[in-house]
Amino acid sequence: MKGTVVEQVGAEPKVVDYLEKPTPGPGQILVKSLYAAMNPVDAFMVNMGMLVVEWPLVLAADCSGVVVEASPEAESKYNLKPGTYVCGCTRLGMKQYGAGQEYFLMDAQLAIPKPKSIDLIQAATLGAGLETAALGIFQGLQVEMFNPDVQQDEKKSWMIVLGGGSNVGAAAIQILRAAGYRVLASCSERSTGSVKALGAETFDYKNSTEEQVAKVLETTEGNIAGIFDAAASNDPVVAKELFKHESWKGESKLFATTNDWMSIGSWNGGQTYEIKLGGLGRPESKELNSLMEKYIPILAKLVENGKVKPLEYELVGDGGFEDIIKAYKHKAGGASGQRKIVVKVQDE
């Protein structure tokens, strides 16, 4: 079976034809890979070996494809049958789960049935960014899960999203808006229009800390329910200043961050939640897997209803395993900006 792999830490990706076609175990599905999307974690795994369980590493975790085999549990419990289109984020660092090969495994409880309102390319953009945002919102910021088919009443309190122009930030803004929160997001001047189009008010992260804090307090009048840091700051000074400011009126000081490697801790009476998605799907990550299983129906319905839009993307190449290499290098080189880099793996 063909695929695009990296055979050891720091090696160049290459196309091979020696991969074995996986067989789905209990609670699993076998998916024919149609589109794959790149994430920053791909480069971390390649260059540092982080999260890699076995080599060679098959590139790409965000995916869309069609089910070709399903375990009895996958069919009976999750209604995933041959012919069902799915998307999402596969297990990281495990060879049989990489989307950059002809066929790969997915855990049925973590597969997102493709929303009917989007195509397969758009579906490939939904995985890690959307799921990271959901974990930070429902666990870190303690937002109650809600019925995505029901319009939520607008709340008086605000949520602050740092890094609103990022993929995770964009997803977080939309989920929070769907939950009824008003959102104020930091972004660059260039990203202001696109962030506002998602339903958020904005402030410029390039301004001084004092100016940013003043803008947040002026806009929210201190009625803040929590802060989501999608920028993965090593030192989130704006959040720290807000937490200790006398104008803070929030009942609690909740801070969710995508920085899960610095152990930045909690401060000024706050409660920090580090979003850790890297173990998704692994047997030892039972709590994470159970949480994501609860979130996925909400996320899928929000996308289907148009309340959460797929990310803007750039399709690299004409399709094929060599183009996965091009897509990986394009993403690693930073040329894509905030757009999701997607590649067609093969025809259906």
pLDDT above 70 covers a percentage of the chain that reads: 99
pLDDT at 232 over 80: yes
- Which whole-number Å values give the CA distances from 119 to 65, 85, 122, 287, in the listed order? 11, 10, 5, 31
List domains and CATH numbers for the chain: 3-126+310-344 (3.90.180.10), 131-274 (3.40.50.720)
Amino acid letter, 136: G
Of how many residues is the chain composed? 348
Reduced to 3 states (helix: H, G, I; strand: E, B; else coil), residue 226 is strand
Q: Please, is 302 exposed, middle or buried when counting C-beta atoms within 10 Å of its C-beta (0-12, 13-18, 19+)?
A: buried
Q: Which pLDDT tens digit goes with each residue over 309-339?
A: 999 999 999 999 999 999 999 998 876 667 8
Do 118 and 279 form a contact (C-beta atoms < 8 A)?
Answer: no
Q: What is the pLDDT of residues 67-85, one digit of tens each?
A: 999 999 999 999 999 999 9
End-to-end Cα, the chain, rounded Å: 16
Chain centroid, CA 164 distance in Å: 13
Region of residue 134 (phi > 0: left; psi between -120 and 50: alpha; otherwise: beta): alpha
- Residue 48's pLDDT is 96
Answer whether 63's CB lies under 8 Å from 90's CB.
yes
Tell me the pTM. Answer: 0.97
Q: Which candidate, 46, 138, 124, 141, places its Cα nearest to that of 90?
A: 124
Tokens of 295: 């979130």
